[in-house]
Amino acid sequence: MMKKNLILLLTFCSILSAQKLDGKKVFETYCWGCHHQSAVAFGPPFTEIASKRSFDEIKAYVIEPKAMYKSFGYKRSVMTQLHLNDDELDAIAHYILSYKGK
Ligand code: HEC
């Protein structure tokens, strides 16, 4: 009986982790055309963003570039406003920060 419960629990956990949103997927879906991980594209590379921004700053920028670009030191903003949900925002911010120091 115990063993069966344990197996059920493990199965449940692996289903949960499989559903966890993948930051790389969000990147490939929404950002890839303009940002690359370590090379300058239309926008700055993730390595550079990760070196100077916090988790919340990255999320705020993606939510509304037009509200943030001045405080980030840009004269104008050409980044499109995307409409990501909270899970996608968390996933992409973690993904970008994983490039810190790389
Ligand atoms: C249409 C092209 C485009 C797309 C799509 C795009 N960006 Fe950008 N992004 C830019 C450009 C260009 C800048 C430089 C500042 C500006 O123009 O707003 C920028 C700036 C940023 C910054 C601030 C950089 C800094 O100085 O720290 C962050 C963070 C960012 N982008 C994240 C993302 C993420 C995450 C995605 C995908 C969810 C994304 N961007 C999609 C073009 C884009």
Instruction: Give the pLDDT score at 3.
Output: 73
Instruction: Give the pLDDT score at 24.
Output: 97
Question: Which residues does the chain have with pLDDT short of 70?
Answer: 1-2, 6-19
Instruction: Give the pLDDT score at 4.
Output: 74
Question: Which atom belonging to ligand 1 lies closest to the Cα atom of 69?
Answer: 18
**Distances 40 to 8, 45, 46, 56, 75 between C-alpha atoms, Å:** 47, 5, 9, 22, 18
Q: CB-based contacts of 2: which residues, under 8 Å, 6+ apart?
A: none
Instruction: Give the pLDDT score at 22.
Output: 95
Closest CA to 80 of 55, 97, 94, 63: 63
Q: Whose CA is nearest to atom 17 of ligand 1?
A: 77
Instruction: Give the pLDDT score at 15.
Output: 55
